[in-house]
Amino acid sequence: MNTKIERTQTGLRIEKRLLKVLKGLAESLDMSLGDLIEGIVLHSFENRPPFSNETLVKIKQLKDVYDLDLTAGDSHKFKEPDE
């Protein structure tokens, strides 16, 4: 099935280490960062886990490499350095 879509550029701001992990994951899965984020969001909208156990292992490795210690519980507590 080929579903026609229309993509747009966005000025998305994202935590630096999180972006590094996402880029590394996209690279390891041989997909674009945009495709990865779209897949994560669409799975989340349906309350379905987006990653296999194998991919979760890769994410853990990337989080260790980029010193990403944030969790879902941190997501609504972010503060910019100048706040």
Q: What is the pLDDT of residues 34-64, one digit of tens each?
A: 999 999 999 999 999 999 999 999 999 999 9
On whether the pTM is more than 0.85, the answer is yes
Under the banding of pLDDT at 50, 70 and 90, the label for residue 71 is very high
Domain ranges of the chain: 16-66
pLDDT per position as a tens digit, 6-29: 999 999 899 999 999 999 999 999
Judged by phi (left if over 0) then psi (alpha if -120 to 50, else beta), residue 25 lies in: alpha
Phi, psi of 24 (to 5 degrees): -65, -40
